[in-house]
Amino acid sequence: NRKFFRFSVGGMRDEAEIKGHRRTYIGAMPGKMIQALKDAQTMNPVIMIDEVDKMGQSYHGDPASALLEVLDPEQNKDFLDHYLDVRADLSNILFIVTANVLDTIPGPLKDRMDILRLSGYIKQEKVEIAKKYLIPRNRKKSGLKSSQVKFTTGAIQELIERYARESGVRGLENNIKKILRKVAVEIVRSQEKKGRRTIRSVTISEKNLEKYLGKPLFTSDRYYEKTPLGVCTGLAWTAMGGATLYVESSGAPSEKTQMKLTGQAGDVMKESAQIAWSYVSAHIKEYAPKLKFFEGEEVHIHIPEGATPKDGPSAGITMVTSLLSLAMKKPVANDLGMTGELTLTGKVLPIGGLKEKLIAAKRSKLKTLIFPKENRRDYDELPEYLKKGVKVHFVDTYQDVFKIAFPGKK
Stated length of the chain? 410
Q: HSE-up of 309 (CA within 13 Å, CB side)?
A: 5
Judged by DSSP in three states, 300 sits in: strand
Residue 357 appears among annotated catalytic residues: yes
Helix (H) or strand (E) holding 335: none
Question: What DSSP designation does 250 have?
Answer: E
Residue 403 appears among annotated catalytic residues: no
Q: Which of 362, 357, 363, 267 is nearest to 318 (CA)?
A: 357
CA distance 307 to 302: 12
272 CB burial (10 A radius; 0-12, 13-18, 19+): buried
* Residues of the chain by 3-state class (helix, strand, coil), percent to 5: 40, 20, 45
Return left, alpha or beta for 252; rule: phi > 0 is left, psi -120 to 50 is alpha, else beta.
beta
Q: Which of 246, 396, 408, 262 is nearest to 336 (CA)?
A: 246
**Catalytic: which of 19, 126, 310, 357?**
357
**Catalytic: which of 314, 322, 325, 364?**
314
Report the relative pairing of strands 202-204 and 258-262 from DSSP bridges.
unpaired
CA distance 405 to 222: 18
Rounded CA Rg of the chain: 28
The answer to whether the CB of 382 falls within 8 A of the CB of 358 is yes
CA distance 283 to 29: 68
CA distance 313 to 343: 10
> What is the phi/psi pair of residue 268, to 5°?
-65, -40
User: Which residues belong to the active site?
Assistant: 314, 357
